[in-house]
Amino acid sequence: MGEMVTTAAGWEKMKAGDVAGAQAAFAAALDRDPKEVPALHGMGRLALMAKQFEYAASLLKQAYALAPEDEALAIDFAQALAGEAVGRPQDAKAQFNLALVFLGLGDIEAARDTFLNAYLADPQHAPSRWMVNRLLPRVYMNPGEIAVWRRRLLSGIAALEASILPKTPAEAEAHVPGLMTRTNFELAYQGQDDKPIQELYGRLVSRVMAAWLPDLAKPIAAMPFAARSDRRIRVGFASSYFTSHTIALLFGGWVRHLDRKRFIVHGYLTGGTPDASTRSLAGMCDQFRDLRGKLDDTARRIRDDDLDVLIYPDIGMDGRGQALAALRLAPTQAVAMGHPVTTGLPSIDYFLTSGLMEPEGGEAHYSEKLVRLPNLSFAYRPPAYPQTKTRQDFGLPGEGPVYLCCQALQKYLPQFDRVFPAIAARIEKARFVFIQHKTRHLDNRRFQARLEGVFRSQGLDPSRHLVFLPWQEWTDYLQLNGACDVFLDSIGWSGGNTALEALSRALPIVTLPSNLMRGRHAFAMLKLLGLDDCIASDLENYAAIAVRLGTDAGFNAEVRERIRAGQGRLYDDTAPVRALEDFLEKTARG
């Protein structure tokens, strides 16, 4: 308690203009705990006030790493880096570091300008060169912005593809930090067919990686089974997200259920920070390697395991994983739908998709050969936590239906916003609960302003209907599902793990499927449950279903009971694993 008082006293002294007293208070707090965020922040603020930008940045960087959700701290850190950057205009690294903080805050325009400054300061600074004109916002204020930013991205990729032509491993290696800085992650959230752009970028990444590690880019033949002492098929799974992450939740079932009489399972953690989920997954593998070291060493360790098939549960969420996937580390390489968009990489042979989610003619959206696994394509095991909280625990009103809108903000495209006031116009006490991003504070503000504007345009008071909760810890988030009345699926990119978690709480879902697989996750789940009456045909029908679920208690209860009755078809489904085994057998043995 005394420690907290000392730090609080330091902030009070700083506000009163007592710089020496504040500095003494913060120093005393840091003597007791060098990682105390308010004290680090306070000391950094004092340095910032004194225009000691380098010292301020060093202190605030420590604090920001510990508490990136603190908006005031993040802004102070950006100001300290800006002070450094202004003082060193020709220092590309200083400009680049500032741009990354702007990006973390969600200030996409400032980030773009500052990456350009870094590139102009040093055209050989690969990370800056690869970032210029490849940024995309996570929140668009109107549909027209999507087209503008998409054209910028295509222009940026085309410029890189035309100009980066490495002739030696050394020339190529200089570009590796650039291609690893950022993928085209946000592109898929625009709700369009991304195959042409992904193929253009995939060729570029493959060209650089092949020039850097030519021996690892060449096709390889599998070891003949007759020459093996153990004739089981060797299959590997590689991801940076074999941690407490959606990827481990969705695809851990493949590792868990593969028949060990026929397969040897290798697991590879290629990034991230290992945790209890990592240890759990490692225990399910025959061999598990932590390969977070040098990229070329990681690639060689995987290739040295003489796999028959290498599966990436996700490609496109982190640059390291994408760089590895551009190499040929096994005779056959496949990607699953962890990031549900084509990779565009010539080195990836197959895309493992869901037979229920994939629309007819879906093959046209992929550079890989499509493999449709049954049902949802994975064997998902739902979290088992009892419901202990009510809506009051989250500050939600006791009256009126509560609609959970829990997706990442980038999943909500502005052209679909009108569905929310359409529901509210028919239910006076309807509440729509959104969850803010933990660190992208400007995105949170932009998104809230956009939705509030849509409500006002329909003559509705947004404060009566919109609720923006802070980032929730996972267990609290699960409890929130159990406290709400209806789950409103995002349109264009449907909820995957979030929809499965909602259904594990028997929370009714309303969905409107799109013409791309990533917009049909909840559609497939409701199909498995026989809940076609919760699948909308258009926006008007979506609103009508949501209104019925929110106002007709009998219908809501009936849907919940049907969800409970059908959960056996939804969870821990081994049919996709059996089909995966057949695919592996056919691919490895011919």
Higher pLDDT, 2 or 78: 78
The residues facing 268 across adjacent strands are 238, 289
Separation CA 355–CA 373 (nearest Å): 5
Domain count, the chain: 3
Last residue of a domain, one of 87, 104, 128: 87
Reply yes or no on whether the pLDDT at 2 is more than 80: no
Given a cut of 70, whether residue 121 has pLDDT beyond it is yes
Do residues 535 and 560 both lie within one domain? yes
Smallest CA-to-CA distance from 6 within 30, 467, 15 is with: 30
Give residue-wise pLDDT tens across range 477-533.
999 999 999 999 999 999 999 999 999 999 999 999 999 999 999 999 999 999 999
Does 429 share its domain with 515?
Answer: yes
Contacts of 75 by beta carbon, 8 Å cutoff, 6+ apart: 105
Residues 324 and 432 in one domain: no
* CATH number for position 361: 3.40.50.11380
Residue 118 lies in a domain: no
pLDDT beyond 80 at 10 = yes
- Classify residue 75: in a domain, yes or no: yes
Q: What is the domain range of residue 505?
A: 391-570
Mean pLDDT of the chain: 96
* Assigned domain for 175 exists: no
pLDDT value, residue 373: 98
pLDDT band at 398, cuts 50/70/90?
confident
For the record, the structure tokens of 132 come out as: 């210029």
pLDDT digits over 195-232, tens only? 999 999 999 999 999 999 999 999 999 989 999 999 99
In a domain, 184, yes or no: no
d(CA 484, CA 553): 13
Residue 105 lies in a domain: no
140 in a domain, yes or no? no
CA 65 vs. chain centroid, Å, equals: 19
Phi, psi for residue 192 in degrees, rounded to 5: -125, 170
What number of other Cβ atoms are within 10 A of residue 51's Cβ? Answer: 11
Residue 558, SS3 per DSSP: helix
Q: In CATH, what number is assigned to the domain containing residue 498? A: 3.40.50.2000
d(CA 471, CA 68): 12
Q: Which of 87, 103, 123 is the last residue of a domain?
A: 87
Residue 481 lies in a domain: yes
Interatomic CA distance for residues 506 and 280, integer angstroms: 27
Q: Is residue 472 part of a domain?
A: yes
- Give the CATH number, domain containing residue 10: 1.25.40.10
Number of alpha carbons in the 13 Å side-chain half-sphere of residue 137: 26
Q: What is the structure's pLDDT at 383?
A: 85
Q: Are residues 367 and 432 in the same domain?
A: no
| pLDDT band (50, 70, 90) for residue 590 | confident
Same domain assignment for residues 5 and 72: yes
Same-domain pairing of 564 and 578? no
Which tens digit of pLDDT belongs to each residue from 535-585? 999 999 999 999 999 999 999 999 999 999 999 999 999 999 999 999 999
Give residue-wise pLDDT tens across range 18-71. 999 999 999 999 999 999 999 999 999 999 999 999 999 999 999 999 999 999
Identify the band that residue 3 occupies on the pLDDT scale cut at 50, 70 and 90. Answer: very low
Count the neighbouring beta carbons within 10 Å of the beta carbon of residue 100.
Answer: 19
409 in the same domain as 338: no
The stretch 241-253 carries a mean pLDDT of: 95
Q: Indicate the length of the chain as a whole number.
A: 590
**Where does the pLDDT of residue 1 fall: very low under 50, low under 70, confident under 90, or very high at 90 and above?**
very low
pLDDT at 163 over 60: yes
- pLDDT tens track for 322-363: 999 999 999 999 999 999 999 999 999 999 999 999 999 999
Q: Percent of the chain at pLDDT above 90? A: 97
| pLDDT score of 357 | 98
269 & 348 share domain: yes
Identify the residue whose tokens are 């253009």: 200
536 and 403 share one domain = yes
Instruction: State both tokens at 189.
Output: 């959230």
292 lies in the same domain as 319: yes
Q: Which long-range contacts (CB under 8 A, 24 or more apart) does 41-46 make?
A: 41/70, 41/72, 41/73, 41/76, 42/7, 42/10, 42/11, 42/14, 44/76, 44/77, 44/80, 45/14, 45/76, 46/14, 46/19, 46/22
In a 13 Å sphere around the CA of 143, the CA atoms on its Cβ side amount to 6
Domain-ending residue, one of 87, 116, 138: 87
Q: Within this chain, do residues 412 and 551 fall inside the same structural domain, yes or no?
A: yes
Same-domain status, 426 and 563: yes
Read off the tokens for 423.
């529901």
